Amino acid sequence: MRVKVNGRARPFRSVWFDAGRNEVALIEQRLLPHEFRIVATPDHRRTAAAIRDMVVRGAPAIAATAAYGLAQGAREFRGAGLGAFARHIRQVFATLRDARPTAVDPVNAMRQVQAVMAAGKTVAERQALALAAAEEFANQSVEECRALGKHGARLIREGMRVLTHCNAGWLACVDIGTATAPLYAAQAQGRSFHVFCDETRPRAQGASLTAWELAQQGISHQVIADNAAGHLMQRGEIDLVIVGSDRTLGRTGEVANKIGTYTKAVLAHRHQIPFYVAIPFSTIDWNLASGRDIPIEERAGEEVLGAWGIIQKTFGTKSSLGQRAYVRIANPTSGARNPGFDVTPAELVTGLITPAGIFKPRDLWKSRRLLGGPA
């Protein structure tokens, strides 16, 4: 994507690697849309913390970050013993894996890096192979998103009104996006349409990230409160829903995605509105047999009880103007429950947009060879 920085448009990826410094470079997503800043993580533990603390977010983006983090951790090793190196890599893998447990993409990405790295005969060879494999994963992820756009663009008709939930754009990927890929491809083909961005409480990724992306891209859009979607559907003002996924089960077609996705799927089914999920290959879990087995991340209650934003008005000193601040909005003595994801049953999903085409959820398993699954 091209981003306007200081009045000039420049191309950026959401994550990349600085081999000279052995650092992972990331767009600091928590500051958007108010500030565009690049941060660097100097070691694999800081990279894991960036994933956990949502400096970087979105399943494909944290997958690439984890792949780079594994290569980063491999390059941190000082020594020549393959046994000690293998133990070090297992620790690095676990640290990165545990940062965000619901998404399967980071595990799939790191396993891909490990498989390539195993061909090395020495520690130095394995370190070099790890970085090459991480770069290949990131580049492959971009091409998969490009293919998602190609296949999904035909769903976007002239004048259509499309609902999105959370952010599954280029910020959530390495580039282009999953749910946004068909939008960007349709725009490139000259079609006009309008996007409703669910705000996506409690982190408001739709309001802060998706809306920012669409504004950068010049796509007509409006932010809506999460609970407004049903009203718009009831009045015939939404024609299509496209979301991303953090884990889709290849055996059942169930979709784990940002909390509130299941609600939108139920509403879309009630109003006979097509509900599509855009997924790269790394999002497919070929092992789990039930959505109930997906680990659902429970995040801090403070996310629900308050909100982050930029101070625009002050009644005291002006020194705080423009600063990022947390504001408590809930009753002071109340606690909160904050599951980060939910699981949508396959029967509520119209189709899965993949790099290999659009599939019915129940057809994933029998099409697994086309989708990079087991034999």
Q: What are the tens digits of pLDDT across the range 121-165?
A: 999 999 999 999 999 999 999 999 999 999 999 999 999 999 999
The verdict on 141 and 196 lying in the same domain is no
Q: Reply yes or no on whether the pLDDT at 220 is more than 80.
A: yes
Distances from the Cα of 119 to the Cα of 116, 123, 124, 272, angstroms: 6, 11, 12, 51
The verdict on 23 and 58 lying in the same domain is yes
**Predicted pLDDT at 174:** 97
Mean pLDDT, rounded, for 215-240: 97
Taking alpha carbons only, the member of 285, 190, 267 closest to residue 231 is 267
Mean pLDDT, rounded, for 11-38: 96
Domain that holds residue 123: 13-146
Q: Which residues participate in catalysis according to the annotation?
A: 246
Predicted confidence band of residue 321 (pLDDT cuts 50, 70, 90): low
The verdict on 177 and 103 lying in the same domain is no
**Is there a domain that residue 44 lies in?**
yes
Q: How many domains does the chain have?
A: 2
- CATH number of the domain enclosing 208: 3.40.50.10470
Mean pLDDT score across all residues of the chain: 95
The verdict on 114 and 232 lying in the same domain is no
Alpha carbon 289 to its chain centroid, in Å, reads 23
**Predicted pLDDT at 320:** 67
Predicted confidence band of residue 319 (pLDDT cuts 50, 70, 90): low
The verdict on 234 and 358 lying in the same domain is yes
The verdict on 214 and 359 lying in the same domain is yes
The verdict on 252 and 105 lying in the same domain is no
The verdict on 160 and 288 lying in the same domain is yes
Mean pLDDT, rounded, for 364-371: 96
**Is there a domain that residue 314 lies in?**
no
Q: What is the pLDDT of residues 71-128, one digit of tens each?
A: 999 999 999 999 999 999 999 999 999 999 998 999 999 999 999 999 999 999 999 9
Predicted confidence band of residue 322 (pLDDT cuts 50, 70, 90): confident
**Is there a domain that residue 171 lies in?**
yes
- CATH number of the domain enclosing 72: 1.20.120.420
The verdict on 142 and 170 lying in the same domain is no
**Predicted pLDDT at 310:** 84
Most confident residue range from 67-81, 298-312, 318-332: 67-81
The verdict on 32 and 179 lying in the same domain is no
**Predicted pLDDT at 306:** 96
Mean pLDDT, rounded, for 240-263: 98
**Predicted pLDDT at 8:** 87
**Is there a domain that residue 319 lies in?**
no
**Predicted pLDDT at 312:** 76
The verdict on 248 and 360 lying in the same domain is yes
The verdict on 120 and 202 lying in the same domain is no
**Is there a domain that residue 309 lies in?**
no
**Predicted pLDDT at 323:** 83
Last residue of a domain, one of 113, 146, 179: 146
Last residue of a domain, one of 98, 126, 146: 146
**Is there a domain that residue 313 lies in?**
no
Q: Reply yes or no on whether the pLDDT at 318 is more than 70.
A: no
**Is there a domain that residue 277 lies in?**
yes
More confident residue, 1 or 317: 1
Q: Reply yes or no on whether the pLDDT at 47 is more than 90.
A: yes
Last residue of a domain, one of 82, 115, 146: 146
**Predicted pLDDT at 314:** 61
**Predicted pLDDT at 213:** 97
Predicted confidence band of residue 375 (pLDDT cuts 50, 70, 90): confident
- Angle, helices 44-52/82-97, rounded to nearest 10 degrees: 20
Predicted confidence band of residue 1 (pLDDT cuts 50, 70, 90): confident
Mean pLDDT, rounded, for 311-323: 67
**Predicted pLDDT at 131:** 98
**Predicted pLDDT at 91:** 98
**Is there a domain that residue 190 lies in?**
yes
More confident residue, 28 or 320: 28
